[in-house]
Structure 1
Amino acid sequence: MESRVAELSAENRVTEAARLYERCMHDIEMMQQLGYCGGIENYACYLNDRDPALPPTTLMDYLPKDGLVFIDESHVMVPQISAMSKSDRSRKDTLIDYGFRLPSALNNRPLTFSEFEKVKPQTIFVSATPGKYEVKRSNDVVIEQIIRPTGLLDPEVEVRPSASCMEDLLKEIRIRSAQNERTLVTTLTKRSAETLNDFFNEQGIRARYLHSDVKTSDRVEIINALRAGEFDVLIGINLLREGLDIPEASLVAILDADHAGFLRSVEALIQIIGRAARNVNGKAVLYADKVTPAMKQAIDESLERRTRQQAYNQTNNVIPMSLVERLRQR
């Protein structure tokens, strides 16, 4: 602490030096009196006498060498592992520079991606849309899980013109609502999601929206309310993708499906289309003025899977059934 305070003072950064001194003295006093302080992990290298040059201790250290790790939704998780250490470093560099933390705070960090690769045991990557890294690390050994125990098929996929999308979508929603089924609609922006929500409610359609501004705790409530039939349409942007299982949803509508970008990439389209694969009446409608390469690839892959699933069901006399999943207690 004294050396860092002296360094800041030598740079005529009096405010930062005073801030750091007060923070450290307060934390030391808290540890002496209570045995801990807020952010005590930032002093870990002093408390456990661990060599700062070593990788941080994580749960991975407790796995046996012959253990097996499953990385679910690996196309999302693998990039997150890579980004965690970088974002942590960026945040702490700012805290250190302005005198909120000692440089030792950098020693308490996530594993870098190279460190993760060294300590992870044998690994199975699970994803409907595996990334290049997973495919490369697996030496192109990909095991396809196409057949579902319920016999469910990948949804039918249709492309319809954008010009009449609102009229067509209202018709489709009312058909689903009459059958006590739900509809998921994806847009490109928060504003369009909220505007569409207002439009649907004006048309007598019970709808709500879900995007990053909605609190995480409220998201579960919204999804449970949709499944319980309190409303019929859920509008989203990027949250209606991985890990969202709503068996009651039989229709997925993708607006502006022909727009270029991350939200309409092959991987994104496949993931969104898959949200309708939990219902025996599942269908995905892509509203677009043209069929982009990403759309064509996503549609072709869904059709190829559906064809193989139908053949298996016919051969084995399997009758598809919608998933039955209990609602979470509120």
Structure 2
Amino acid sequence: MHLEQGQKLNRTEMLAQLIEMQFERTTSDLRRGQFRLRGQVFEVMPVNEEIIYRLEISERIDLIEMVDAVTRKVKHETSDMWLFPAKHYVAGPEMRERAFKTIKQELKEQLTIFEKKGKVLEYERLKRRVNYDLEMIKNIGYCNGIENYSRHFDGRNAGEPPFSLLDYFNKGVRSKEKGVNNNFLTVIDESHVTVPQINGMYAGDKARKDTLVEHGFRLPSARDNRPLNYVEFEKRVNQTIYVSATPSEYELGESKQVVEQIVRPTGLVDPEIIVRPVTGKGIKNKEKGISQLSQIEDLIIRIDERIKSKERVLVTTLTKKMAEDLNDYLLKKKYKVKYLHSDIQTLERIETITALRKGIIDVIVGVNLLREGLDMPEVSLVAILDADKEGFLRSATSLIQTIGRAARNVNGQVILYADNITQSIEKAISETNRRRTIQLAYNKEHNITPKTIEKSIKDILGELGVSSRSKEKGARNKRTTSDKILELDLLGDKRPLEEIIKDKESQMKEAAKNLEFELAAILRDEIYKLNKQTKKTA
């Protein structure tokens, strides 16, 4: 919507247009996508700017001012402004009418299917859901989950892919077959994980939507509000750089050129790899003198060596249970250790990694969290338990990625505990040794002495910790305040507790009504304590 000073526009028309563009009306503080109306003055905060537009409107726009959203000071007056919709899902009246018709038609067809199959519950559920959504869209222009009807608003056929950011880059779908030279570059980081995920997103979304459709929660057209599958994604990109330490056959096959970045600026080389037995019986065709200890017994010795050198250790297991059991075992042995797996919350994971780097703990036991993007220069030993158990966590790609965690330290070493040399182990060792040979040769040629990476330890949770402690302190103060007030009240009030509780409940409601939330919270705590006293007396 383009607005300018002197434009013919009255208060009612402006109000209708803002509602049409999905802006929400408010009487309190303005946030993005909201507007406030006081008499003839509109204050609007766009979704794409940290500024408030103040408009004075009679029968035309008399004044447009730009106001700082924080200080509330007028920055300057402007002659015109542009206002964009507050939500992504905006459609004109004609598009809405067309969508209503096709949604109703699809609903009729799906209800017929449920009726023939005798699915009474699903029939009623879908009928109510869709009719409610249509009524909401008709009256306020929006409903929860409106994106599930996107096919009808876009005018797409069943099965057609939705529009995406890639279409914006392309200004329409352009395929390689059409010979169009797309002028944007796509960079796919950690491509060995990202490429499979693109297909995985589509498959996961389809499985979820199939369940919703089957049980009458959504129309079949909801399936068309989905991620692109890989074929569709591929058609929309042309120039692509795949970045990975362990590219798969797909990336290597698709790439016309492969550039290896093996030599590190620090001169660090890939870690030395040692293979030791799991059971203590040793690897088949074992050489004389090989360790006859089991993997856990040997691991304890290696951990002790690293602790003496003030270095850290990462241990990777196959399952969460194994990680927890090993963690408990090491704790009993008085080691400073923590475990990490997918059940651990993000903030706790960051806290654990920071603790390892600071030396608060010496060992982390994990499952699949010790792979891409974890830079911990203090770690000089990575121990991979049960390395000969072929599978996702012990594939050549996973092994190489995990081995890389020890490549940030000049004393980096990796121990693979295995009774058999699998193809994955062979491939991982071969690739690591190939890189190591190139790195050592380069260092020798250029007279480079490897140095451990020096990386500052940022206390990411420092500020969060302070704020959480402040909240705890505030909560304690609030409890203390309520205790003191209650004590004084009871000294001067000899009425029965039930009457005091009723009186305080009405005070609490009045405080909440007047937006005095701190007072309301104190009164709530008092009521809670009085109720406890009443129960004790009873």
> If the length of structure 2 is used for normalisation, what is the TM-score?
0.58
Deviations 1:84-116 (A, max 9, x none): 212211111111010011111011111111111
Code of the residue aligned with 1:316 in structure 2: it is H
- In structure 2, the partner of 1:8 is 114
Return the alpha-carbon distance in structure 2 between the equivalents of residues 35 and 278 of structure 1: 55
Other structure's SS at 2:364 match: strand
Measured on the aligned residues, the alpha-carbon RMSD in Å equals 2.0
Gaps of 5+ in 2: 1-106, 171-181, 281-292, 462-538
Deviations 1:170-211 (A, max 9, x none): 222123233332211111122111100000111111111122
Q: Which of 224, 233, 237 matches 1:120?
A: 237
CA shift, 1:282, in A, is 0.9
CA shift, 1:250, in A, is 1.2
Return the alpha-carbon distance in structure 1 between the equivalents of residues 123 and 212 of structure 2: 12
1:56 aligns with 2:187: no
CA shift, 1:261, in A, is 2.2
Code of the residue aligned with 1:15 in structure 2: it is L
- In structure 2, the partner of 1:21 is 127
In structure 2, the CA distance between the partners of 1:138 and 1:188, relative to structure 1 (3 Å rule), is same
Return the alpha-carbon distance in structure 2 between the equivalents of residues 34 and 179 of structure 1: 67
Gaps of 5+ in 1: none
Q: Which of 228, 238, 262 matches 1:111?
A: 228
Other structure's SS at 1:37 match: coil
Residues 202-211 or 52-61, more deviating? 52-61
Return the alpha-carbon distance in structure 1 between the equivalents of residues 139 and 344 of structure 2: 40
Code of the residue aligned with 1:26 in structure 2: it is Y
Counting only pairs closer than 5 Å after superposition, residues 81-120 of structure 1 correspond to structure 2 as: 81-120=198-237
Return the alpha-carbon distance in structure 1 between the equivalents of residues 308 and 142 of structure 2: 59
Q: Which of 274, 279, 298 matches 2:409?
A: 279
Return the alpha-carbon distance in structure 2 between the equivalents of residues 26 and 317 of structure 1: 74
1:155 aligns with 2:261: no
Alignment length, in residue pairs?
329
Return the alpha-carbon distance in structure 1 between the equivalents of residues 422 and 154 of structure 2: 56
Q: Which of 359, 373, 386 matches 1:229?
A: 359
Return the alpha-carbon distance in structure 1 between the equivalents of residues 332 and 145 of structure 2: 49
Return the alpha-carbon distance in structure 2 between the equivalents of residues 58 and 93 of structure 1: 22
1:251 aligns with 2:368: no
In structure 2, the CA distance between the partners of 1:10 and 1:245, relative to structure 1 (3 Å rule), is same
Residues 52-61 or 199-208, more deviating? 52-61
Return the alpha-carbon distance in structure 1 between the equivalents of residues 385 and 379 of structure 2: 17
Counting only pairs closer than 5 Å after superposition, residues 1-330 of structure 1 correspond to structure 2 as: 1-32=107-138, 35-63=141-169, 65-139=182-256, 141-162=257-278, 163=280, 164=293, 165-326=295-456, 327=458, 329-330=460-461
In structure 2, the CA distance between the partners of 1:45 and 1:168, relative to structure 1 (3 Å rule), is same
Conserved 8 A contact 2:313-2:362: yes
Return the alpha-carbon distance in structure 1 between the equivalents of residues 145 and 359 of structure 2: 44
In structure 2, the CA distance between the partners of 1:201 and 1:152, relative to structure 1 (3 Å rule), is same
CA shift, 1:66, in A, is 1.6
Return the alpha-carbon distance in structure 1 between the equivalents of residues 112 and 157 of structure 2: 24
CA shift, 1:34, in A, is 5.2
Return the alpha-carbon distance in structure 1 between the equivalents of residues 412 and 159 of structure 2: 53
In structure 2, the CA distance between the partners of 1:176 and 1:94, relative to structure 1 (3 Å rule), is same
CA shift, 1:20, in A, is 1.2
Residues 84-93 or 174-183, more deviating? 174-183
Deviations 1:237-292 (A, max 9, x none): 22222222222211100111122222222212111111111122211011122322
- In structure 1, the partner of 2:473 is none
Other structure's SS at 1:63 match: helix
In structure 2, the CA distance between the partners of 1:268 and 1:6, relative to structure 1 (3 Å rule), is same
User: Greater RCO between the two (CA within 8 Å, min separation 6)?
Assistant: 1
CA shift, 1:51, in A, is 4.5
Return the alpha-carbon distance in structure 1 between the equivalents of residues 250 and 227 of structure 2: 20
Other structure's SS at 1:100 match: coil
Deviations 1:50-91 (A, max 9, x none): 444542222222336221111111111111112221221111
Return the alpha-carbon distance in structure 2 between the equivalents of residues 249 and 52 of structure 1: 53
Code of the residue aligned with 2:414 in structure 1: it is A
Return the alpha-carbon distance in structure 2 between the equivalents of residues 236 and 115 of structure 1: 36
Code of the residue aligned with 1:208 in structure 2: it is K
Residues 95-104 or 34-43, more deviating? 34-43
Deviations 1:125-147 (A, max 9, x none): 111211111111114x3211101
Conserved 8 A contact 2:186-2:241: yes
CA shift, 1:12, in A, is 1.2
Residues 200-209 or 64-73, more deviating? 64-73
Residues 164-173 or 202-211, more deviating? 164-173
Return the alpha-carbon distance in structure 2 between the equivalents of residues 92 and 217 of structure 1: 31
CA shift, 1:118, in A, is 0.6
Other structure's SS at 1:256 match: coil
Residues 196-205 or 15-24, more deviating? 15-24
Q: Max radius of gyration: which structure?
A: 2
Return the alpha-carbon distance in structure 1 between the equivalents of residues 135 and 351 of structure 2: 42
Residues 260-269 or 24-33, more deviating? 24-33
